[in-house]
Amino acid sequence: MSRGLFGTDGVRGRANTHPMTAEMALRLGAAAGRYFRRDGRNRHRVVIGKDTRQSGYMLENALTAGLTSTGMNVLLLGPVPTPAVGFLTRSMRADLGIMISASHNPADDNGIKFFGPDGFKLSDEAEAEIEAIVAGEIEPAQPNNIGRARRVDDGRGRYVEYAKTTFPAGQRLDGLKVVVDCANGAAYRAAPEVLWELGAEVIPLGVDPDGRNINAGVGSTHPEACAAAVLDHGADLGISLDGDADRVAIIDETGRLADGDQIMALLASRWAAQGRLRGGALVATVMSNLGLEHFLSGHALKLERTRVGDRYVVEKMREGGFNLGGEQSGHIVMTDYATTGDGLIAAMQFLAAMSEIGDSASALAAQFDPVPQLLKNVRYAAGADPLSAEAVRAVIAQAEARLAGSGRVLIRKSGTEPLIRVMAEAENEDMLREVVDGIVAAVERAA
């Protein structure tokens, strides 16, 4: 079944521009409601969370109207992290969970992500079926079957209490000074609460959302803000989340950044030593550094690679029975604890290692020496297809031949923005720059 509305992480776009309009959100809500009521036997309940974007109010109301028009009862959580929606969908026995967020994107963007009753993101097939319903006639409920909507005041509190249970019993964070950058996003209250209640001295950053400042100069896409705060306050660790808190970057006490690959390397090796790593493997995407692969091999562990997108990481984990996976960007998926990436719980696992081992963040955050990697993005016009140009394909083939045996090239379209992502890895950094710059130039000419 074809898909045009849904990308790699739900539906996303610029607010008040197709497809992120009130009209489309209403149709999506109605279509999702019709999809989940098709057998007539389910519970007709959906939970909706959102981040702090101003456009979230518009989309929340439109989705609620669409859902209730097809007989769904709506529970509104307000601003909560994306993983809280996955958790609460399952905990509250709902048919469907919806998160309104464009994650790490700027405030003018927004998105709609769907979760099934098991708390996991919907499959490509389910999204395609909902998209087909959107395109057709949507049958409304009879007047006596229209749904209701109400606010859930303790949704954040339920998630906070659950998040604390993932930290080792009997351990506390007393004596640790932690900067937590919430990107003026969905975790601006939950993340500082969890860390403070576990005993840390918390220095909050990015906790003053105004509807327009989400991810603006703060958060995991701007880790320099957290790094500066760590150095200014002499903190032991910095935790930098993105707008919906499903990804994290760790900043050590020297201000150095540890990305998702380094965090996954630490957790994989620790879990394997403790007999907790199922399948003897870590699941990561094609973007993860070759250095991670070499590190895992040295620990007799495998790296299972997937296409880019945390949904595909989770699908591979569920298919193979693995319990740890993620992305270099900082989505860390631990299915023992969560159904999707959870930046806060991943950071707490890092803090647990610090507490148990007694090492500094800098000692734990550099698990391997990464192979030099360079990524550049090229924006292209709507409707264009620069990767199909013969000249571009020829330059890519030349680059692959040049790096054969010593590195690799990865070219892909973004699933959320009109961008071509050009990435390469090679030990020779001069060659690396030449290869990437050559491909970028060819793509720019074609675009």
| Cα 420-423-427 angle, rounded to 5 deg | 165
- Per-residue pLDDT at 42 exceeds 60: no
What pLDDT was estimated at residue 247?
96
Helix, strand, or coil (residue 50): strand
Cβ neighbours of residue 110 closer than 8 Å, sequence gap 6 or more = 12, 13, 15, 20, 53, 55, 56, 59, 100, 101, 102
The pLDDT value given to residue 208: 98
Q: Is the pLDDT of residue 2 over 90?
A: no
What are the backbone angles phi and psi of residue 4, rounded to the nearest 5°?
Answer: -130, -30
On the question of pLDDT at 1 being above 50, the answer is no
Take residue 389 and report the two structure tokens written for it. Answer: 């140009």
**Mean confidence (pLDDT) of the chain:** 94
Tell me which of 55, 101, 103, 220 is the catalytic residue: 103
Is pTM, for the whole model, over 0.75?
yes
- The Cα 49–Cα 99 span in angstroms is 5
Q: What is the mean pLDDT of residues 29-57?
A: 88
Domains of the chain and any CATH numbers? 11-153 (3.40.120.10), 158-255 (3.40.120.10), 258-364 (3.40.120.10), 373-446 (3.30.310.50)
Active site residue 55: no
10 Å Cβ neighbour count for 215? Answer: 26
pLDDT digits (tens, 9 = 90+) for 67-106: 999 999 999 999 999 999 999 999 999 999 999 999 999 9
Q: Distance (Å, rounded) from C-alpha 263 to C-alpha 332?
A: 8
pLDDT score of 39 more than 70:
no
Mean pLDDT over residues 334-360, rounded? 96
Q: Is 121 helix (H, G, I), strand (E, B) or coil?
A: strand
Query: DSSP for 234-248?
Result: T-SEEEEE-TTSS-E
Burial class (CB in 10 A: 0-12, 13-18, 19+), 433: middle
Query: How many Å apart are CA 422 and CA 7, to the nearest integer?
Result: 19
Token readout for 244 is 């919906």
Which pLDDT does position 106 carry in this prediction? 96
215: its two tokens: 């991810």
The whole-number pLDDT of residue 282 equals 98
Q: Give the confidence band of 324 by pLDDT, cuts at 50, 70, 90.
A: very high
**b/e per residue, 265-288, with b = 16+ CB within 10 A?**
bbbbbbbbeeeebbeebbbbbebb
Residues 109-154: tens digit of each pLDDT: 999 999 999 999 998 899 999 999 999 999 999 999 999 999 999 9
Average of pLDDT values for 378-388?
87
How does pLDDT run across 230-289, given as a tens digit for each residue?
A: 999 999 999 999 999 999 999 999 999 999 999 999 999 999 999 999 999 999 999 999
